[in-house]
Amino acid sequence: MNSSADTAAVPGQARRLVLEATDLRRTFTSGSRLHPTRVSAVDGVSLQLHAGEVLGIVGESGCGKSTLARMLVGLEKPDGGSLAYHGTDVTRGRMSDRRLLRRGVQMIFQDPYTSLDPRMTVGDIIAEPMAATRSANAADRRARVAELLGLVGLAPDMVNRYPHQFSGGQRQRIGIARALALDPDVLVCDEAVSALDVSVQAQVINLLADLQARLGVAILFIAHDLSVVRHLADRVAVMYLGRIAEIGDTDTVYSSPAHPYTQALLSATPSHSRSDRGKLARRRILGGEPPSPVNPPAGCRFNPRCWMATDECRTLEPLLRTLGARDVSCHHAEDALAQAVMAG
Amino acid sequence: MNPLAAALTVRDLSVTFTGGGREVTAVRNIDLDVARGEFVALLGESGSGKSVTARAIMGLTDEYTRVDASVLSVSGTNILSLSEEQRRLMRGERMSLVLQDALSALNPVMTIGRQIGELFIVHRKATRKQARASAIELLALVGIPAPGSRVDDYPHQFSGGMRQRILIAMAIALEPEMLIADEPTTALDVTVQAQILDLLGGLRDQLGMGILLITHDLGVVMEVADRLAVMYAGRIVEQGDADTVLDLPAHPYTQALLRSVPEAAVKGERLLTIPGSPPNPATTPSGCSFNPRCHMAIDICSTARPPLVEVALGRASACHRSEEMLHELVS
C-alpha cells in the first residue's frame, strides 16, 4: 500500500467540519400493540465528516447503515442525539435550519430503477431540487441541467427523454446529477453502485471519485462491498447492530483491524485474486445467531458471537476509544490486534 | 462413482423468447460440461442469459420460450427425449435448482418441514412421518440449529441465510447428480455467503455432485470455481480451467472484468472501465457482440463473429485476437 501518499490525502484536522453527528439514536417499534418489540436501528453513533473527504460505512444488513444515512439527509428524525451542519444544529427547531440541511446534504439512492419518477423527463428530474427550493428561474434551471448532464457524462440533448430509455448505469448518473443540482457540500450514497453490473459499477465509481476531486464535495459512502469502500474511502466506519465498532483511516482498518467483528468481516470477504483461493476456508467463523436489531444483547452487542467475550463484555457497553490511527469500541481491542498480528 | 463422469452435458443450446410478436434469442448455441464432483462457474452480467440457461436446462420454461439443443443430458440420460412427466420426475431426483430469492421461492403458508418432506412424499412415496424425519435430517445437514423444533416453523421465521440453506436442503434432498445454483449468495451478507459457499463445497465433496454456480460476482468465482465459463450477450465467450483463465484471460471481456474490480487497482487511482453497457438481447451488435465496448476491436470484429475455438489445451475463447492476447502476455 502506498501509505505515504494516502496519509497526505487524508484530510487533516485543519479541514473544515461539514457534518457532525453526535450520539444519534433511532428506535422503531414494531409487533402488535400488546407485545411491542423495539428495534434499535441506530444506537449512539457519532461521526464527523470534513470537507472534501470520503467516509465509507460498511456493515451487514440490519446494522443500521441505511437508517443512519436517512437521518443524515433529514429523511428520518433521530430519537436522540444531534446533527450539526456547519455548526448549526439541524435536528430540532426551526424550519430554516432543516432547509439548510436539505440544500447542503443530498442523497444518491441504491436502486436506479425505482428512484427516478418514470413519468418525468430527465430534465424535470434533475431540475426538481431547484424547483422545490425555488432557486433560479426556468432558463437558469435549463442551463444548469445541461451543465449537470455534462458533468456526469451524459449528452445534454437527452433532457427530454424518460428514465426507461436509459440503462442502469445511465440512470444512476441521472440520480447523481439530481443530487448535485443544488451544489451540496455532502453527498450521501446509500449502496449507490451495488445494483449495477461489474463493468458499469467501475464507471460510476470513477465518476464519484472525479466529482469528489473536481467539486470538493464530501461523500459518505455506504456499502456492503468492502473492496469498493477500500478503493474510494479516506476513512471507514464499521457498524454492527446500530453502533460503530471501529472507525479510522481506511488502510489501518483494513490492514490491521482491531475489533473482532471487523476481523471476522474482512476474513469472510472473498478476495478478487485467485492466489488467495482458500482464504474463506481459513476465515474467522462466527458462532451464534445472525445479528438482529430486535432486542439486542446487553453490554457489547457483538458479545454472543465473539470468541473473545468475557463477563465484562456481557454487562458493560464498550465505548469508542482511540487506539493508534483508529477508534475502536471493544474491551479487548489490544488483545485482538495482537492476536491478528501473530496470526499474520 | 467415477469422479470424471459427466454430470451435465449441453451442446448447442439456444433459447428463444417468442412472445410479443418478435423473436428474441437470449441464449445462442452454448456448450457446457460439468463433471461429477466439479464446481463450474458461469459468470456473466445481467442480461447475458445465464439464468435463462439454468431454467432451460431444468426444463422450467413457459409456452413462449423455445429451447433448442442437440444434446442435453444429465449423467447420461438424454433429457430431450423425455416426456414432460418424466422430466418432472427428474427434477429434484437427479437435477435440482437453487434460486436466488429464497423468500419468494418458498411457500409462505407451509411449514419448512412440509415443504422439504413433500419431495420424499412425491418422489419416494414416503409416509408423512418418514418425510418429517428426513426433513429434520436435512436441516441438520445444512447447519440449521435445533432442526427438531425448527422443522415446524414457517419461512418468515428464518433469516435470509437460513432460508437459502433451506432451499439448498430441498435441492439436495434426493441427492441429485447435478445441482444448479442461480446466484445463491447474491442477496446475502459476506459472512453468510462464506457459510453457504462452504456448505456447497462440502456437499459437493460428500455427495459427489456436479455444481453449476451461476454468478456475477468475481470474488465468488475466484474462491470456488474449478472451471469457468464467461457469458456475454447470450454466448459463452471464454471457458476453461479457472486457474488459467483467471490468470491469463484470452478474451478482452474477461480481461476487462478482472481489471475493473476495485481491488485490482491501487487506491485513489481510476478503475479500468468497460465503456457503454451490456447489450439488450433483442439488439445485439453484428459481428462480435462485444466489439462496440472492446478496447482491442479491429475492423473484422464488427463484421465477422468469432467462433468459440480452442486456444490452448482445455480452454476456448471466442475472439479474433485471442492468440495475440495470449502471446503478448506471455512474451
Kindly report, residue by residue over A136-164, the tens digit of the pLDDT: 888 999 999 999 999 998 988 889 999 99
- Which stretches of chain B drop beneath a pLDDT of 50? 1, 3, 330-331
Q: Are strands B95-98 and B178-182 parallel, antiparallel or unpaired?
A: parallel
> pLDDT tens for residues B153-169?
999 888 888 888 899 99
What is the per-residue pLDDT for A290? 64
The CATH class for the domain spanning B6-225 reads alpha beta
Q: DSSP secondary-structure letter at A10?
A: S
Residue A324 has pLDDT above 60, yes or no: yes
Rounded Cα distance, A118 and A259, in Å: 44
> pLDDT tens for residues A7-58?
444 444 457 899 999 999 999 887 777 888 888 899 999 999 999 999 999 9
Q: How confident is the model at residue A71 (pLDDT cuts 50, 70, 90)?
A: very high
| DSSP characters over A156-188 | GGGTT--GGGS-HHHHHHHHHHHHHTT--SEEE
The CATH 3.40.50.300 domain(s) of chain B lie at 6-225
Rounded Cα distance, B146 and B166, in Å: 14
Query: B274: which chain A residues are within 8 Å (Cβ-Cβ)?
Result: 199-200, 202-203
Q: What's the average model confidence in pLDDT over A272-292?
A: 76
Residues of chain A by 3-state class (helix, strand, coil), percent to 5: 40, 25, 40
**Residue B177 vs residues A74, A327, B167: alpha-carbon distances, Å:** 54, 51, 17
Contacts of B278 (CB under 8 A, 6+ apart): A197, A199, A200, B45, B46, B47, B48, B232, B233
> pLDDT over 90 for what percent of chain A?
55
Residue A236 has pLDDT above 70, yes or no: yes
Q: A271–B263: do the CB atoms touch at under 8 Å?
A: yes
Query: Per the structure, how many domains does chain A have?
Result: 1
Q: How far is A140 from chain B (nearest CA, A)?
A: 30
Query: B267: which chain A residues are within 8 Å (Cβ-Cβ)?
Result: 1-2, 6, 230-231, 250-251
Angle at A191 between CA A75 and CA A70, to 5 degrees: 10
What is the per-residue pLDDT for A2? 41
Domain assignment present for A75: no
> pLDDT tens for residues B185-222?
887 788 888 888 888 888 888 888 999 999 988 889 98
Parent domain of A323: 258-344
What is the per-residue pLDDT for A74? 87
Nearest CA in chain A to B201: A281
Domain assignment present for A171: no
Residue A292 has pLDDT above 80, yes or no: no
What is the pTM (predicted TM-score) of this model?
Answer: 0.86
Query: A281: which chain B residues are within 8 Å (Cβ-Cβ)?
Result: 198
Query: A265: which chain B residues are within 8 Å (Cβ-Cβ)?
Result: 190-191
Are the beta carbons of A331 and A300 closer than 8 angstroms?
yes
Which amino acid makes up residue B108?
A: P
Q: Which among B192, B246, B261 is the nearest to A290, CB-wise?
A: B192
Domain assignment present for A229: no
Query: B258: which chain A residues are within 8 Å (Cβ-Cβ)?
Result: 272
Q: A272–B243: do the CB atoms touch at under 8 Å?
A: no
Arithmetic mean of pLDDT over chain A:
87
Residue A103 has pLDDT above 80, yes or no: yes
> pLDDT over 70 for what percent of chain A?
94
Domain assignment present for A81: no
What is the per-residue pLDDT for B113? 94
What is the per-residue pLDDT for A6? 41
Q: How far is B51 from chain A (nearest CA, A)?
A: 15
Q: What's the average model confidence in pLDDT over A64-80?
A: 90
Q: B218–A198: do the CB atoms touch at under 8 Å?
A: yes
